[in-house]
Structure 1
Amino acid sequence: MMKLEWRKNEKAIYLPKAKPEIVNVSAYQFICIQGEGNPNKPFFADYIKAIYSVAYSIKMNLKKAAVKPQGYIDWTVYPLEGVWDINDTAKKHYNGEINKNDFVFKLMIRQPDFVNATYFNEIIALVGKSKPQNLLNKITFEKIVEGLCVQMLHVGSFNNEAETFNAMETFANTNGYNRLCKTHREIYISDFRKVAENKLKTVLRFKLEPKKSG
């Protein structure tokens, strides 16, 4: 049986080039967890651990199931993604600089179309019994549509993303689009817990709207 591998089958979404491009991202379903604070602090690892434990439990339990859902095919677990913003207080006093303690984030891992909310709830209950974690009740199952976006592969430290975002905004403006909001998405192609900072590969993406004529 074939295997769904995002690195091979969905390069347009997950492996863009290191130059800006316009994309239209369809609706996908995700397991998600929201939080707030500096991702460099120890608590952030607990969020990653919790969401990955559910992602791998979904995959392995379906692989072992005697009766599989219609359309089932084995798959490589999708990469971790994060949508990033700053909290409302920070927005009120924004002066061009961002304090990482003010970050608001939504981490997510995409799920194949044959995984549904009912099965997700069953897995949450199962993981809760076998590997109890305080954050399990924060994990949700959602369908998310990004739509019209600009994206680009960023290579290097997260601290140097501003240069890539500037290139993306310039490209979007030149091609007749405005950035819809300051919220942005990051897709972690590299495991930032294991890969050297200067070699990290991260897809950066944010939503667009066409410029109004006149």
Structure 2
Amino acid sequence: MKVDLKRQIETYKASCGRFSVVTVPALQFLMIDGHGDPNTSQEYKDALATLYPVAYKMKFFSKQELGRDYTVMPLEALWWAEDMDTFTSARDKSRWDWTLMNMVPGWMTQDHYEEARKIVANKGSAPAIDGLRLETLDEGLSVQTLHIGPYDDEGPVLEAMHNSFIPGESLMMTGKHHEIYLSDPRRTPPEKLKTILRQPVTDAERVAPSPQ
């Protein structure tokens, strides 16, 4: 039976119009870093062209060699910049740094990854293979919501998350802005795109300085 991990892991579910405080489990991902506007950057295109061949090779290895089939997970990305206002008001994508990610099941090991990576690299069709890695991400306490609509309409949602909901809950932002792309933009109209927006946080009271 094929396993769909996004149905089993609760933090791959979110509600539109509502911010939720969740605890994200530690998960392992294929990761590749880059910089610049994802709409125009060749670096971004090369990263996508590398990430998915390895993801599917690992899936086929799991099915054929381990007898455990699973659905390849959706594309995810971490986003950050020196000035985080570029995500909310300015939306200056040329200044963004990113890590593209694809989650793989915990039963897939570093050896499985290395074998898949080697096979894909030998085919010569993965332009950014040298930058790919398998790594665990442990975000823990986070705030997330579901955004429905074009990616460029995320700004007001992030503004409300960062500047109203998070401080209103006595939380502080930590880590990097995280997006999970539940829809395929090649097949989904922009107004129907579904994206989970996530921000790792910590309890502000725990990190506040003690009174003298």
CA distance in 1, matches of 2:170, 2:113: 40
Q: 2:110 aligns with which of 108, 111, 117?
A: 117
CA offset at residue 151 of structure 1?
Answer: 0.2
CA distance in structure 1 between the partners assigned to 2:126 and 2:174 by the alignment? 36
The equivalent position to 1:82 in structure 2, one of 77, 83, 98, is 77
Name stretches of at least 5 consecutive residues in structure 1 with no aligned partner.
none
Q: Would you say the 8 A contact 1:149–1:207 is kept in 2? A: yes
Alignment of 1:4-153 (within 5 A): 4-10=3-9, 12-18=10-16, 19-41=18-40, 43=42, 44-65=44-65, 68=66, 73-86=68-81, 88=82, 97-153=90-146
Q: CA deviation at 1:7?
A: 4.0
Q: Structure 2 unaligned runs (5+)?
A: none
Q: TM-score, normalization: structure 1?
A: 0.86
Pick aligned residue for 2:183 from 172, 187, 190: 190
Q: For residues 134-166 of structure 1, what are the alpha-carbon distances to aligned partners after superposition, in whole Å with 9 as ceiling and x for unaligned?
A: 211111010110011100000111111122113
Alignment partners' CA distance in 1, 2:180 and 2:7: 16
Contact 1:178–1:210 (CA under 8 A) maintained in structure 2 = yes
SS of equivalent residue, structure 2 residue 101: strand
TM-score (norm. length: structure 2) = 0.87
After TM superposition, what 4+ stretches of structure 1 lie above 4 angstroms from structure 2?
A: none
Q: Could you tell which deviates more after superposition, 74-83 or 125-134?
A: 125-134
Match of 2:148 in 1: 155
Across the aligned residues of Structure 1 and Structure 2, the Cα RMSD in angstroms comes to 2.2
In 1, Cα distance between equivalents of 2:157 and 2:93: 19
Q: Do 2:146 and 2:195's aligned partners in 1 also have CA atoms closer than 8 Å?
A: yes
Larger strand percent: 1
Taking the aligned partners of 1:14 and 1:177, their CA distance within structure 2 comes to: 21
Q: Is the 8 A contact 1:20 1:167 kept in 2?
A: no
Partner of 1:211: 204
- Using the aligned pairs only, state the percent identity: 29
Query: What code does the residue aligned with 1:14 have?
Result: Y
| Matched pairs, number | 202
